[in-house]
Structure 1
Amino acid sequence: MSARGGIDLGGTKIQAVVVDDKHEVLGDSRRPTPHEGGPQDVADAMAETVRDAAKAAGLEPGALAGIGVGSPGAVDDGAGTVTSARNLPGWEGSFDLATSLSSALGPIVRLGNDVQVATDAEFALGAAKDSSSLLGVFWGTGVGGGLVLDGEPWLGRGAAGEIGHMVVRRGGAHCTCGRRGCMEAYAGRAAMEITARHKHEDGAKTDLFKIMEKRGRDRLTSGIWARALKREDKLATSLIERAVRALGAGVASAVNLLDVETVVIGGGMG
């Protein structure tokens, strides 16, 4: 039996898993994504998460046949680099993530855009396995997209699928990318938290931050939003509804352009 490792790198958490040849989970681990420092700090946290998952599987990391990574940003698997992963600390430029992880852990490391590899999995194994074309939309810290057209992943020049930065309102809200009116400026969890904090500071009543403190968090995670919705929190409800409208506008536009057979929505907020 050979075992392989996988890492899902997100803006809020790092999830690692070790699986066997039949994709059965042998061990897994998760930890918060660092929100200070830079790419090397994130890479170090990723390596520790893999070590924990391998330990849970009763293996040493060096015994893994390989490690696959799904990362936000522009990913160049050939070069082993990730560029402009804006929802991660200090990651504006290019960083050799594959070399960093391989040096720390031992096995060969392959990279893919996190949303594209999730879209590929839905196409091969999941909700879109009977489809010929697919738009995957993953709603979490940001909003990412992946495409499969005529049965093949469509990567464009390497950064296709950035649906979160489709403009859904001209001259609209500031986005973390520096532009205005992007879908992510309304629907990305990070942007939603910024808006919630501003409104709360201006006097809007909400339980979002009370729930955050009670849960021992320093950010508004997907679970906190879900708990606030269950309490019928007015601010949380209005911001979720605002996000859904932005998602709907962007997804509908993409479907009109591409005429895909299936749309899959996932992610922590999806």
Structure 2
Amino acid sequence: MYVGIDIGGTNLKAGLVDGEGCLLAARRTPLGPFQGGEYFVRRLAELTAQVCRDGGVPPGELEYVGMGVPGAVAGSEIVYTCNIPLKNVPVGRLFSQYLDVPVRLANDADCAAVGEYFCGAGRGTKNFAVVTLGTGVGGGFILNGKLCSGGGMAGEVGHMVVERGGEPCACGRRGCWEAYASATALIRMTRETMERERDSLLWEVSQGGAAVTGRTAFDAALRGDGTARALCRRYAEYVAVGVVNLMNILQPERLALGGGVGEAEDELLLTPVREIAARESYAARCGGAQTEVVRAELGNDAGVIGAALLGRAAE
């Protein structure tokens, strides 16, 4: 038995998972105001204890607690995250003050890749990639059946530049893919579009601008709003820029789009990304084997299940 925790920029999600990747109990809680690394780790321990109680399993019976972190890790330490103020936090040591359970850390998109590889869209492949479109943009890769994590800082695909000198990114650079393809970026783009197009349905869908989310543009587009459809197309083109880059670098058999925005309707996201990839990828131009672009299958559970199965990915 394992507990997997997905540390997101907005929410903390935890699940009790068995060795086959079955989710037996789950909890979700808002991240809330940040109050320091020690307090943060105590919340992770409390969340672990709660999900164990829900599943009727004492924490002492866990093999380990796996955690997906939206940033860089080294061993059981969070080195740095740019969307949560965490830096050099010794999670393993702090966690042991509350629960005597080993801790495994990995990048959150790596965890999503592990979950999808064993239990979702990556089944049956040897070379597989996941791109998560959420508060930030993450990437996880399974190459020759093994998780490719480098020194704990590999897979930060959201911070490759796609617009030199472009929009500022939380990492300190400008023009990062994350600044154009994340939910955060889509919300910014939606607000900018609304200011230019006062008659767009975007205003009605967002309750006069009071509730702009990563769904606003898609919802208005589905109602036939031309401005929203153009915005969704522009967003999909930015997603495709990074997807094609990854296809050219890694040529995975399959690449899955996940995260909250990754659940958008196929006609507005997946279909245009596929069309651009089929036209612009190097393999498409030279007649090589093309990467299949699919929707991730595990939804919000991918990171939790993958964090719980990190040990299996290391075998």
**Equivalent in the alignment of 1:64:** 62
**Equivalent in the alignment of 2:152:** 158
The code of the aligned residue for 1:19 comes to V
Is the contact made by 1:4 and 1:65 (CA closer than 8 Å) also made in structure 2? yes
Q: What CA distance in whole angstroms lies between the structure 2 residues aligned with 1:85 and 1:247? A: 22
Is the contact made by 1:33 and 1:42 (CA closer than 8 Å) also made in structure 2? no
The 5-angstrom pairing of residues 32-111 of structure 1 reads: 32-77=30-75, 80-88=76-84, 90-91=85-86, 93-111=87-105
Q: What CA distance in whole angstroms lies between the structure 1 residues aligned with 2:120 and 2:155? A: 19
Is the contact made by 1:12 and 1:32 (CA closer than 8 Å) also made in structure 2? yes
Q: What CA distance in whole angstroms lies between the structure 1 residues aligned with 2:140 and 2:130? A: 5
Q: What CA distance in whole angstroms lies between the structure 1 residues aligned with 2:40 and 2:193? A: 31
Q: What CA distance in whole angstroms lies between the structure 2 residues aligned with 1:28 and 1:154? A: 27
**CA RMSD across the alignment:** 2.8
The code of the aligned residue for 2:102 comes to I
| Structure 1 unpaired stretches of 5+ | none
**Equivalent in the alignment of 1:113:** 107
After TM superposition, give the deviation of residue 224 of structure 1 in Å: 5.9
> Which secondary structure does the structure 2 equivalent of 1:263 belong to?
strand
After TM superposition, give the deviation of residue 7 of structure 1 in Å: 0.6
**Equivalent in the alignment of 1:251:** 243
> Cα–Cα, structure 1 residues 209 and 102, in superposed 2: closer, same or farther, change >3 Å?
farther
Q: What CA distance in whole angstroms lies between the structure 2 residues aligned with 1:233 and 1:62? A: 54
**Equivalent in the alignment of 2:176:** 182
After TM superposition, give the deviation of residue 129 of structure 1 in Å: 2.3
> Cα–Cα, structure 1 residues 175 and 233, in superposed 2: closer, same or farther, change >3 Å?
farther
After TM superposition, give the deviation of residue 266 of structure 1 in Å: 0.9
> Cα–Cα, structure 1 residues 20 and 129, in superposed 2: closer, same or farther, change >3 Å?
closer
Is the contact made by 1:62 and 1:106 (CA closer than 8 Å) also made in structure 2? yes
After TM superposition, give the deviation of residue 141 of structure 1 in Å: 0.6
Is the contact made by 1:142 and 1:188 (CA closer than 8 Å) also made in structure 2? yes
Q: What CA distance in whole angstroms lies between the structure 1 residues aligned with 2:194 and 2:34? A: 24
Deviation by residue 1:115-174 (Cα, 9 ceiling, x = unmatched): 112212322332222222122111111000112223322223331211111111222222
| TM value normalised by structure 2 | 0.71
Q: What CA distance in whole angstroms lies between the structure 2 residues aligned with 1:103 and 1:142? A: 31
| Structure 2 unpaired stretches of 5+ | 263-315
> Which secondary structure does the structure 2 equivalent of 1:104 belong to?
coil
| TM value normalised by structure 1 | 0.82
Residue correspondences, number: 259
> Which secondary structure does the structure 1 equivalent of 2:111 belong to?
helix
**Equivalent in the alignment of 2:130:** 136
> Cα–Cα, structure 1 residues 198 and 224, in superposed 2: closer, same or farther, change >3 Å?
closer
Q: What CA distance in whole angstroms lies between the structure 1 residues aligned with 2:44 and 2:224? A: 36
Deviation by residue 1:26-81 (Cα, 9 ceiling, x = unmatched): 3111111124333334323323322321221123434433211111111112xx11
- Percent of aligned pairs with the same amino acid: 34
| Counterpart pick for 2:21 among 14, 20, 23 | 23
Q: What CA distance in whole angstroms lies between the structure 1 residues aligned with 2:38 and 2:235? A: 32
Report which structure shows greater RCO (CA 8 Å, sep ≥6).
Answer: 2
Deviates more, 1:260-269 or 1:57-66: 57-66
Check if 1:267 corresponds to 2:259. yes
Q: What CA distance in whole angstroms lies between the structure 2 residues aligned with 1:70 and 1:83? A: 13
Is the contact made by 2:165 and 2:174 (CA closer than 8 Å) also made in structure 1? yes
The code of the aligned residue for 2:233 comes to E
Is the contact made by 1:65 and 1:107 (CA closer than 8 Å) also made in structure 2? yes
